[in-house]
Structure 1
């Protein structure tokens, strides 16, 4: 693996700064996952190092993220805290991401519509905030969003005021920390240190307690048992969600560095990182937008910066783990609320009402499904609905583009023929690839727009590059209807692919005659009107 040392100074500065920023987030996300703060640190080290080494986005910083932790927290609750199965899911997710990269899936993940991405990201932000409300009030957080909401009235009736004030103070400090000081001491780390010192000397609040230090133990994957379905399902969600999260962050990095990332290589790097994370007892991770931005702004430009960030966290684990045991839960809850608020897509929410109403409804639906059902249902439903809406939109445009008026024609001769015989010749022009969405109403629209006295029906395929099965069957329906009403059906301007598709599926062309272009079909139609006996109805043959 070739490393770039030309930007070494900036990479060291960026990597160290990103590592400092990542420390409180890794601790907090590890706690939120249910696996403990050390799992968050191990995950940040493994994903951060190997995704940087093998990935396709040079300055990207990877590690635990809110979306991934939401999935892991749900899995932790479903498996009653069985860590071996959870780490198996993380390793499987990594293997799937490597497979995605080799199969070239990276280019397709970008096709998820923005309202779907906005909806599930905002939903994830809401879940993180909901799960941290009880810790802010001085209680353990119940597993699951619904359980947390149901427990909230109980928590409100028994507020631990010192805990709440500490958490809100942490949140306020993260938001109000001066930018001039943030260059030297990032806001989350400053709030973590201040909150921990305040609690240690003056407050009696719940703290993390003993945290393991030193090198991690290996956790080999465990297969079999009744819980494997949950493990595999979680692995698929983690793989898809982590891939999406990482590639979105890659786009942010591209915009800042004016570079271009390699999507499939990035998925391979993320997969290797997550595989190692599960192997050493770390939580799953992905490209982290905030940490990547911090790295780039601090001078990081190559993959060395991400590796340095991971080594900084490793040094912390080996030397400062005992100090982290005094960190209060309320402080981490305050930091996580900030993470949740940052994930919510406020920029889109503020202007969504000015955009298409359907996109707003789709975003809201995905958000609600994310919060109250699960992520895979939310994303799957959002993508399917968005695809159906797009097919419907394309179909409406294709049907609206059906033209049979002489004013539309460029040829003076064609226009003159239609003006003279407009009540006897019906010409329809199709544009673009006829889709199955338009095919359902194609026959109906042709029939409704055809004059009752029309004797010849011409379908012009000059602007149609391809037909699917639904469109071919629709043409057959038009042909059947034309014969039933004793009309001639001419096909014109077909490309070789359209000609072959119609002929193969129909066992012959479903028309009376076929012409190379519209003009030839119109002249033949005039001859038929002048002497119908010369044009018997029958199976189409080339003109």
Structure 2
């Protein structure tokens, strides 16, 4: 590690006493926001809550040191849980732990191969749709906690929201969500009422996680069973973590190392699997809450993991009495702050294509409850719309010289699989000119489809007795032609 890297790493950990205090308090808020979601997604995956909580503890500790995005909170998240559910149902928990270890190895390999560059294909419209969809999912996940309950629950939620939004007007010394948790817990203990507590969400761990290898046969058959699930978990986890890291980059006006985040997440999931936990990834709701309440460094991530361990074991009797209404109030606040309200205004100002991509990402994500599916559809639509836009920019101009009986076609723009047919249609194959000159000085051939279209065009013209000359190819286009249509290149 060179001196510059060391200085940056030290700054990410500790950059002033005030920052350290904010990181510690914001990390504690992140823990309280993490607990209900981890427990809920553990049920989705078909595992005990302690499996998700153990995973979140291990992931939080490791990612604080090895991750590439300071202030990002990672844990057992919903998208990975959806993938894991089928494996747990068919083969049990131990096979899930084996898949978690393999997913970690896949992610380390992806990071070393710099596959994070694929994030460049995710447009801002897709990222905005991702954030908005997640805000909607975070809010909808709170709805079951508000159904079939007494009025006391609604009163506590309202009181919690009042504390969260009004306390900062008085003081910012302690994050208002933390005040909300402490105040509502004190009220419920002093004045017993029929409301749900954290203890009602599921059994909290009674002991520390223990190191152990998955109890599965170490044979090729086991690898065949877990590999597809591990690959899916690795891909979904990386996608969600990369998207979360990009959101934090935008919120904090800083950059992060996506490749390091890939390898860091892989190491974190290895630790999770070895300590009896499910694979996880970046959790955008908790991360946004952490950032909103002052978390900026790696210390906030570490505190979220360490405090979760304290919550799980030593503080278990007290945490079990925290009203679910307090957690619901925090998550409602997170969903409101996560949603990009400016994007609604931008629908009227920005190009309709961008708005369509954003809305499609939101619709698919909310409909499927699968963030990776929504992002995939958004990226696909972005690619299709871009291809159509580039296709419209491709033009072919025709000029005829009577003295030499030569027609010159000047091609402008990009020729690739989406524009190849339009390119061919611009030529008059019935032209009686003695010779044809195709000028590619202002054009570029991008792929084999483009080269094939040009080769077929020249061949058909020559078959009609027309002398054809291709000129002006840039170096990259010429190399592509020499490789896939050498006769065309030699005749140009």
**What's the offset of the Cα at 1:41?**
5.2
User: More deviation in 309-318 or 27-36?
Assistant: 309-318
Of the three residues 62, 73, 89, the one matched with 1:50 is: 62
Equivalent residue for 2:209, pick from 209, 216, 224? 216
SS at match of 1:429: strand
Deviation at 1:171, TM superposition (A): 3.6
Show the counterpart of 2:416.
435
Q: Is the 8 A contact 2:80 2:233 kept in 1?
A: no
Pick from 74, 78, 93: which aligns with 1:69? 78
Displacement of 1:33 in angstroms is 1.6
Counterpart in 2 of 1:107? Answer: 117
Task: Specify the alignment match of 2:372 in structure 1.
Answer: 376
2-side partners of 1:460 and 1:350: how far apart?
45
Change (3 A) 1:170 1:62: same
- Tell me the alpha carbon deviations over residues 282-316 of structure 1, each in whole angstroms, 9 at most, x when there is no partner: 56242654355357x46x55x45543554444444
Within a 5 Å distance, the mapping from 1:188-337 to structure 2 comes to 188-200=177-189, 201-209=191-199, 211-218=204-211, 220-221=213-214, 224=222, 228=226, 231-232=229-230, 235-249=233-247, 251-252=249-250, 255=253, 260-282=255-277, 284-286=280-282, 289-291=287-289, 293=291, 297=294, 301=297, 303-304=298-299, 306-337=301-332
Q: Secondary structure at the match of 2:196?
A: coil
Provide, for residues 491-533 of structure 1, a one-character-per-residue CA deviation record: whole Å limited to 9, x for no partner: 12234553454355335128xxx8xxxxxxxxxxxxxxxxxxx
The reply to whether residue 426 of structure 1 matches residue 415 of structure 2 is no
SS in structure 1 of the partner of residue 470 of structure 2: strand
2:418 aligns to what SS in structure 1? helix
CA, structure 1 residues 90+125, in 2 after alignment: closer, same or farther (shift >3 Å)?
farther
Does the 8 Å CA contact 1:208/1:325 hold for their aligned counterparts? yes
SS at match of 2:397: coil
Asked whether the 8 Å contact 1:113–1:383 carries over to 2, the reply is yes
Partner residue, 1:7: 15
Per the alignment, do residues 198 and 69 of structure 1 end up closer, same or farther by CA in structure 2, a change over 3 Å counting? Answer: farther
Secondary structure, aligned partner of 1:341: helix
CA shift digits 1:25-47 (9 cap, x unpaired): 12222232235765665444333
Choose the corresponding residue for 2:397, options 388, 392, 403.
Answer: 403
Are 1:444 and 2:428 counterparts?
A: no
**Residues 104 and 264 in structure 1, CA contact (< 8 A), matched pair in contact too:** yes
- What does the per-residue CA deviation read over 1:303-331, in whole Å, with 9 as the maximum and x for residues that have no partner? 45543554444444453221011123333
Q: How much has 1:396 moved relative to structure 2? A: 1.7
Q: How many residues are matched?
A: 466
| Residue in 1 that maps onto 2:219 | none
CA distance in structure 2 between the aligned counterparts of 1:193 and 1:341, rounded to whole angstroms:
22
- Distance in 1, matches of 2:113 and 2:479, equals 31
Equivalent residue number for residue 473 of structure 2: 494
Alignment of 1:90-105 (within 5 A): 90-105=100-115
Counterpart mapping for 1:95-174 below 5 A = 95-138=105-148, 160-174=150-164
Name the CA distance, whole Å, in 2 between partners of 1:268 and 1:474: 42
Q: CA RMSD in A?
A: 3.6
Which residue of structure 2 lines up, in the alignment, with residue 152 of structure 1? none
Gaps of 5+ in 1: 139-158, 406-417, 515-539
Tell me, yes or no, if structure 1 residue 60 matches structure 2 residue 63.
no
Residue 186 of structure 2 is aligned to residue 177 of structure 1: no
Whether the aligned pair in 1 keeps the contact of 2:73 and 2:282 (CA below 8 Å) is yes
**Aligned-partner Cα distance in 2 for 1:75–1:164:** 34
Deviations 1:38-68 (A, max 9, x none): 56654443333222212233x3342338xx3
The TM-score, its normalising length taken from structure 1, stands at 0.74
| Aligned residues of 1:106 and 1:267 also touching (Cα < 8 A) | yes
Supply the distance in 1 between the matched residues of 2:225 and 2:325 (Cα, whole angstroms): 33
- Aligned-pair CA distance for 1:390: 1.4
Q: Is the 8 A contact 1:32 1:73 kept in 2?
A: no
Shift, 1:102, TM fit: 0.6
Look up the match of 1:412: none
- Cα 1:7–1:392 shift into 2, 3 Å: same
- Larger Rg: 1 or 2? 1
Equivalent residues of 1:29, 1:336 under 8 A apart: no
Q: Tell me which residue corresponds to 2:26.
A: 18
8 Å Cα contact 1:31/1:40 also seen in 2: yes
Is the Cα–Cα contact under 8 Å of residues 97 and 276 in structure 2 kept in the other structure?
A: yes
8 Å Cα contact 1:55/1:268 also seen in 2? yes
Flag the 1:220–1:188 CA change in 2: closer, same or farther, 3 A. farther
SS in 2 for 1:215: coil
Q: Which residue of 1 aligns with 2:456?
A: 477
Deviation at 1:432, TM superposition (A): 5.1
Task: Write the deviation string for residues 214-250 of structure 1: whole angstroms up to 9, x where unpaired.
Answer: 4223464466499858843651354233332343145
- Of the three residues 350, 369, 386, the one matched with 1:355 is 350
TM-score calculated relative to the size of structure 2 = 0.81
Kindly indicate whether the alpha-carbon contact (under 8 Å) linking 1:28 and 1:37 is maintained by their aligned counterparts in 2.
no
Contact 1:26 1:41 in 2 (8 A): no
